[in-house]
Amino acid sequence: MNADNPPTSGSVIEFKRLPNGTFAPGSGGRVRGSRNRVSKEAVEAVHSMRDLAIAQLRSKLEAGDSDALFFVLERIVGKGRSLDGLDASPEGVREALSDGTVTTSEAKDVATMLARLADVEAVEKLRADIEELRQMVERGNGPFSR
């Protein structure tokens, strides 16, 4: 049902569209307060499969399926796990990534953190240099003194 195909049943909802194809104000979209059609049924279906899912996961873990293992560890330990003992230098992160100690997303997060820390250190150094120059100028023995 759209602007080209008006509803044929006794529906009171009328869909009007603007020239750019979007819904006109007050027309279309979900009725305020309405519930998702399938959400309750989907949740019930997932709950009914809980025991089967756990049994399948257990059998995959017992068979040594690494994807199942990572799935469980990610849910237990979490993606934001602590990386204790990680050498936070670029070489250390590269080595941890290559030997599987960290995931690619964890390595990316560490690399981003290192870059931001380097930026902060550079700004602090610039501030200290500016302050030193300011004091030299005030004393009259700076590079711009006459």
The predicted model scores a pTM of 0.39
Distance CA 114, CA 118 (A): 6
Domain extents in the chain: 14-78, 81-146
Does residue 6 carry a pLDDT above 60?
no
Which DSSP category does 25 fall into? Answer: T
Does residue 131 carry a pLDDT above 90?
yes
| CA nearest to 17, candidates 32, 2, 31 | 2
pLDDT tens per residue, range 16-34 = 888 888 888 877 666 666 6
Does residue 85 carry a pLDDT above 80?
no
C-alpha of 29 from chain center:
28
Determine what percent of the chain is predicted with pLDDT higher than 70.
73
Does residue 106 carry a pLDDT above 70?
yes
Are 51 and 38 a contacting pair, CB within 8 Å? no
Which DSSP category does 4 fall into? Answer: S
Which DSSP category does 64 fall into? Answer: T
